[in-house]
Amino acid sequence: MTARVKMALLGCGNIAQSHWQGIQHHAPLIEVTTLVDSDIARAESMAERTGGQAFGSLEKALAAGDFAAVDIMLPHHLHEEAARRSFAAGKHVVLEKPMAPTLDACERILAAAKEAGTVFMVAEQSQYWPDALKVQQLIQNGTIGQLISARATFASAAAAYSGPKPWRYYREKMGGGICIDAGAHWIRPLRMWLGEIDEVVALVGYPETEMEGESLARALLRFDAGVVAVFEALYGGEFERPGEEFRITGTKGELVIYNGGGHPILFDQAHPEGKVIRTTESGREAGFGYELADFTHAVLEGKPLAATPEYSLGELRTALAICRSATTRQWEKVWG
């Protein structure tokens, strides 16, 4: 019988639904045996669909559940306690990004992971987006020549809600604003394509007035290789404008990805009107499944992850540097 990873899903909210779909379609070696949520009714609802056992707390699940790995999908400020408790119990851990809201908390989590000696992965779905991987391949193959510049744009209409204010609207729980959250998905591909970010200069704004962290950011990112990229993020308004999400310019051409992802378009001398570059999978939703499949291969086979947990600190550090720059109004080092 093929070995499988018995997994607990910690947090059964919206992101857990995407993880569950990813497991069903792209991570067949995961067996969801345990569902954990402080809202026990939500855990029980998901248990009915997965066939697992529901618990109202991680403490109870660790005491009585049957699982070797924990998939942590909680508000950012709860990441550290859940991760460290899971490592202390000898569990493998996949943790939704960011690792934690602060660098100090991240260091404590990394130390706990090292002491446990189990597999630790920070889940960043855009590392596995088919269109991002295709662009990475084309750049590495020299399709657009030497890189000159890039642009990444994220825009989302503000979600309507009733009842209590969402946890993402609180700086203490979020650790920041749009840059540390959804914006990270647009920073990771830039790092995959252009290398590491050295420094940033930025302005931020607060168009979503109920959100304590920034809901608008405009930044220049200077990479170690000398390339400068524009990064834009917006959460607000009642509609999402159409347009480009990514544009990467080289000496021989450009690669463009439009809103919603899909297939990159190559513009060069041979294709001035643009050539659609097909990917094996057009939907970015598949990224959730691909990242969890990567995690299972690390657990079962010892295969290296596509990105180490330490590498994931790049998005957090970039977001923090953007906010510092907005205050100091000068270039801020990312890794300094």
DSSP string, 153-194: EEEEPPPP--SSPPGGG-HHHHSSSTTTTTTHHHHHHHHHHH
Percentage of residues of the chain with pLDDT beyond 70? 98
Q: In degrees, to the nearest 5, what angle opens at C-alpha 149 toward C-alphas 273 and 248?
A: 40
Neighbour count for residue 51 (Cβ, 10 Å) = 10
Q: What is the mean pLDDT of residues 198-218?
A: 97
Whole-number pLDDT of residue 2: 72
Q: In degrees, to the nearest 5, what angle opens at C-alpha 169 toward C-alphas 310 and 207?
A: 105
Evaluated on CA atoms 71, 122, 292, 299, the torsion sign reads negative
pLDDT tens per residue across span 278-315: 887 668 889 999 999 999 999 999 999 999 999 999 99
At 235, give phi and psi (nearest 5°): -125, 105
CA dist 101 to 23, 180, 206, 228, 304, Å?
27, 8, 19, 26, 25
Q: What is the mean pLDDT of residues 17-43?
A: 97
Q: What is the mean pLDDT of residues 317-322?
A: 98
Three-state secondary structure of 219-230 = EEEEECCCCEEE
Answer yes or no: are the C-beta atoms of 261 and 131 closer than 8 Å.
yes
Using alpha carbons, select from 132, 131, 172, 178 the residue that is nearest to residue 156: 178
Percentage of residues of the chain with pLDDT beyond 90? 90
For residue 284, the one-letter residue type is: R
Whole-number pLDDT of residue 169: 95
pLDDT band of 1, cuts 50, 70, 90: low
pLDDT tens per residue across span 209-266: 999 999 999 999 999 999 999 999 999 987 766 689 999 999 999 999 998 767 899 9
Q: Cis peptide leading into 98, omega within 30 of 0?
A: yes
Question: Per DSSP, what are the bridge partners of residue 122?
Answer: 95
pLDDT tens per residue across span 182-195: 999 999 999 999 99
| Average pLDDT taken over every residue of the chain | 95
Whole-number pLDDT of residue 280: 75
pLDDT tens per residue across span 125-183: 999 999 999 999 999 999 999 999 999 999 998 888 878 899 999 999 999 999 999 99
